[in-house]
């Protein structure tokens, strides 16, 4: 799923530090937009897909470790949350992929 983060960055069009909105899909930066002038820099789709694929594979490979750590920290919470996570995970992944491949 896409997430947004606000940051103070230097805008080349405004020629000063202005508020910007950075949009991420998963852990991959998709675009940065100046909230003052509206100038937006987007990552090329091909690069975005490549970066997302690397991030996605890393998340798959580290999932057993992360789940084991959750299990050790709070077994009751882990067991209670597992059924809903199993059901919603395909939807969340599909939403992430949709956010990556859709053209704005």
Q: Are 2 and 25 in contact (CB under 8 A)?
A: yes
Q: What is the pLDDT of residues 58-68, one digit of tens each?
A: 999 999 999 99
φ, ψ for residue 33, nearest 5 deg: -130, 130
Is the pLDDT at 104 greater than 70, yes or no? no
Question: Over the stretch 37-76, which tens digit does the pLDDT of each residue have?
Answer: 999 998 887 787 888 888 889 999 999 999 999 999 999 9
User: What's 8's DSSP letter?
Assistant: E
Contacts of 42 (CB under 8 A, 6+ apart): 30, 31, 104
pLDDT at 39: 92
């Amino acid at each position: 799923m896409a997430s947004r983060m606000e940051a103070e960055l230097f805008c080349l069009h405004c020629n000063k530090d202005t508020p910007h909105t950075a949009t991420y899909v998963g852990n991959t930066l998709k675009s940065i937009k100046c909230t003052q002038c509206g100038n937006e820099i987007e990552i090329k789709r091909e690069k975005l897909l490549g970066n997302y694929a690397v991030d996605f594979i890393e998340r798959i490979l580290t999932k057993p470790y992360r789940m084991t750590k959750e299990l050790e920290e709070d077994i009751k919470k882990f067991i209670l949350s597992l059924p809903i996570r199993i059901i919603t995970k395909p939807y969340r992944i599909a939403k992430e992929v949709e956010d990556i491949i859709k053209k704005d």
